[in-house]
Each structure stands twice: as C-alpha cells, then as structure tokens.
Amino acid sequence: MRVGDFELHLLVASRMKFDGGLVFGVVPKVVWERHKPADENNLVEMACVGMVVRSGGRVILCETGIGAKLDQKRARQVALREPEGALLALRRLGIRPDEVDVVLSTHLHWDHAGGFTRRSEGGRVEVTFPRAKHFVQRTEWDFALDCDPRSRAAYLEDDFVPVADAGLVEFVDGDAEVLPGVELRLTGGHTPGNQVVVFRSGELAVAMTGDLIGTRPHLRRAWNSGGDLDVVRALAEKGRLLDEAAAHRWLLVLGHETEQPAGYVSRAGEWTPEPALPLG
C-alpha cells in the first residue's frame, strides 16, 4: 500500500502467546476474555507486528520481533513461532539484510528488539542489519542497562549491546525527525523511553503504536498493557494519539494485534481495518 511518499508492507515479525494478565493488567478476565479468548493456561495469541517502509530510495524496518536467540525454556513458555518473520518478509520483498538502511523499534524489550541481532553458525551474536542505523531513545537505552527488578527479564543485552558495539546506534533525545517525514515521538508509559513511530506525508500519516495500543481491545481509553510501568502516562499518551488519529484519519498499526492490525479509529473509538494492508 502507498501512503503519500511511503510504500508500506505489513509483516508478522514473530508470533507468541502471553499471559492474559500481562496483556490486560487490571481489567477483569471475565471482561477481556470476551474480546480475546485465553487457552487452558490463560495464554492469549499475540503477534509482533512490523512494517517495511520504502521511501526516497531507502529501506526502513520498523519493529524486528523476537528473533531466534531466545533460550528454549522461554521460547516454549511463550509458544514462540516465526521468530525471524521480519527476515522472511524482507526476503519475499527481495531485500537483503544489508540493504536495510534504518531499523526502528518502539522500545528495547526482547519482543521488539530481539531481531536486532542473531546468532551466527559459530554461536557468536552479530547484528542482523549490518548497514542500518538503529535509532534509540537515550532514556530507553540507559534504562535497559539499569532498570527496576521487574523490568530486568524484559531486556536482554545481547539484543542491543552488539548493535552499539558495531557503531550502529544513533541516540535520540525526545521527539525527533530522523528521516524526511519519519518522526519518533517519545511517549514513555510502557517503558521510560517508549516511542511511537509516525510516517508523515502531507496530510497523511501512519503511526506504529507498539505497546501503547497493543491489540484492538486496547483501543479502549481505560485499558492498558499490564506491563506498563507508568500507567497514567501511558493512558494519557494513548488518548492523545487516538484523538489525533481520529481527527486526521491517521492509519494506525497496532503492535501486537493478530487480526488486521492496520486501520482507522473514529472519535467514538470504532475500528475500521484497512483492507489494502493485510498482515503477512
């Protein structure tokens, strides 16, 4: 699909299952289960939604998913499938990893930054996209290396430290336009350096929401991810994004939605999927 100057391809970067409590926080299970059924272990089906964007001769990958480095125990716990879906999607588009110019991610949790690196046949961890600039909020980077006890399991240094060692991290402080029309908006909330990625062309815009709006049930203004560190801030930033998206008919791409993650939201909160941007 084309949106102004941008050619968009939606992709599944990985598939997994998360505990319903982590996904929906304090929302009672009897309520969220009507929208997202859980299996016998209380796990709900999730996707890591990514996007390949072409613009001005550049290739941008937004969200890389989990990748294939996860240890077996954890991979089993989350029923990991298609760990390197982003690489598969790029291959289908005829794009080699060394042809990716920019890698963006909403934050550095393992299910978003895992695909930044991979294990070579010799077992060494190496960068997946050896020519790409990886734009990272400095607050997110600092927190990932020195976080609270609860967040510790969510940041895996092998995902992102090798990228800095290779000289491929570009630090960002707050809101920034990193390429023409490509904006990073610092939101915080889910993590201190959480950001939303917005592609703008004239009046048109596409926003990758990451965990700020993970799934369609999370379009509700009072619902948030159970993993949010600053709930009040996450809800305020989500409200702002929903207002803007509804007023200007922005295309939203929800970070973990398994069914038609790209669509439009009305002022009343109704969701209309964009049929020209299917997942896969």
| SS3 labels along the chain | CEECCEEEEEEEEEEEEEEHHHHHCCCCHHHHCCCCCCCCCCEEEEEEEEEEEEECCEEEEECCCCCCCCCHHHHHHCCCECCCHHHHHHHHCCCCHHHCCEEECCCCCHHHHHHHEEECCCCCEEECCCCCEEEEEHHHHHHHHCCCCCCHHHCCHHHHHHHHHCCCEEEECCCEEEECCEEEEECCCCCCCCEEEEEEECCEEEEEEEHHHCCHHHHCCCCCCCCCCCHHHHHHHHHHHHHHHHHHCCEEEECCCCCCCEEEECCCCCEEECCCCCCC
**257 is an interface residue for Zn ion by CB under 5 A:** no
Tell me which stretch binds Zn ion (CB under 5 A): 8-16, 157-165, 168-176, 203-211: 203-211
Nearer to Zn ion, 84 or 211 (CB): 211
**228 is an interface residue for Zn ion by CB under 5 A:** no
**140 is an interface residue for Zn ion by CB under 5 A:** no
Nearer to Zn ion, 111 or 237 (CB): 111
* Shortest-Cβ-distance residue relative to Zn ion: 211
> How far is residue 55 from each of residues 9, 132, 201, measured CA to CA in Å?
12, 15, 11
Nearer to Zn ion, 214 or 263 (CB): 214
In angstroms, give the least distance from the CB of 109 to Zn ion. Answer: 5
In angstroms, give the least distance from the CB of 256 to Zn ion. Answer: 6
Nearer to Zn ion, 84 or 111 (CB): 111
**63 is an interface residue for Zn ion by CB under 5 A:** no
Residue among 84, 211, 228, 237 that touches Zn ion (CB under 5 A): 211
Nearer to Zn ion, 3 or 38 (CB): 38
| Binding to Zn ion in span 74-133, by CB under 5 A | 111
> Cα separation of 145 and 166, whole Å?
17
Size of the site for Zn ion (CB under 5 A): 2
In angstroms, give the least distance from the CB of 255 to Zn ion. Answer: 6
In angstroms, give the least distance from the CB of 99 to Zn ion. Answer: 26
Angle ∠(82,87,92) on CA atoms, nearest 5: 100
Nearer to Zn ion, 4 or 226 (CB): 226
Tell me which stretch binds Zn ion (CB under 5 A): 24-32, 51-59, 162-170, 207-215: 207-215
**237 is an interface residue for Zn ion by CB under 5 A:** no
Nearer to Zn ion, 140 or 211 (CB): 211
Residue numbers of the site for Zn ion (CB under 5 A)?
111, 211
